[in-house]
């Protein structure tokens, strides 16, 4: 579901750029910035790159959900609610630095006017995803430096958004046992 959520955003943003800038090519791609061997992972230039930089579990206070069915009791893990931290990097050549800033402005404007994607406004959203909300993450210069160091890349204009919440629930049964309906006394 992580791919489906990020891919949905990329497709929607490409439509936004096509209508706003009258371009035919996809400007938004999903990619790492650097390969494991240190080489650049992006093919071509002048792209807006979406990179997953962190994944966090939303703490909801629930552990296991007891349930009964057909005379048996079982414990099921509560759904895991996951937030994704997505970095939108403007990968443009040096001579197009101002264009990189322009694209970054478009990202901020896009999510300012479209902060929530749900059943009523996002027809192409995967049916397993109920709702996504986008929230800009404010980082200190030190935190930004740490992220770019972690990625092994040189800084480029970028912004990070937190995508809330993907809910993972495969209804995994952890334990099945018969329901105890009463205690019978044994006579001797």
Query: What is the chain's Cα-based Rg?
Result: 23
DSSP letter (8 states) at residue 34: B
Token pair belonging to 53 = 């930089």
pLDDT digits (tens, 9 = 90+) for 9-64: 999 999 999 999 899 999 999 999 999 988 888 888 899 999 999 999 887 655 55
State how far Cα 118 lies from the chain centre: 14
List Cα–Cα distances, 40 to 16, 34, 126, 166, in angstroms: 27, 5, 31, 30
| Whether the predicted model's global pTM rises above the 0.85 cut | no
DSSP letter (8 states) at residue 125: S
pLDDT digits (tens, 9 = 90+) for 124-167: 888 888 889 999 999 999 999 999 999 999 999 999 999 998 77
The residue ranges of every structural domain in the chain are 2-175
Burial class (CB in 10 A: 0-12, 13-18, 19+), 54: middle
């Amino acid at each position: 579901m992580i791919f489906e959520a990020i891919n949905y955003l990329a497709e929607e943003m490409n439509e936004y750029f096509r209508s706003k800038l009258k371009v035919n090519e996809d400007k938004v791609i999903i990619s790492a910035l650097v390969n494991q061997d240190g080489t650049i992972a992006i093919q071509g230039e002048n792209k807006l790159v979406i990179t997953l930089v962190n994944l966090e579990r939303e703490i909801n206070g629930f552990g296991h959900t007891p349930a009964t069915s057909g005379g048996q009791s079982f414990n099921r893990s509560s759904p895991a609610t996951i937030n994704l931290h997505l970095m939108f990097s403007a990968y443009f050549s040096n001579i197009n630095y101002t264009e990189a800033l322009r694209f970054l402005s478009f990202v901020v404007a896009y999510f300012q006017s479209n902060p929530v994607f749900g059943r009523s406004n996002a027809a192409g959203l995967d049916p397993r995803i109920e709702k996504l909300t986008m929230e800009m993450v404010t980082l200190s210069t030190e935190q930004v430096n740490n992220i770019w160091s972690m990625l092994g890349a040189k800084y480029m204009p970028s912004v990070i958004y937190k995508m809330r919440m993907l809910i993972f629930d495969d209804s995994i049964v952890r334990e099945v046992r018969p329901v105890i309906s009463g205690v019978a006394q044994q006579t001797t």
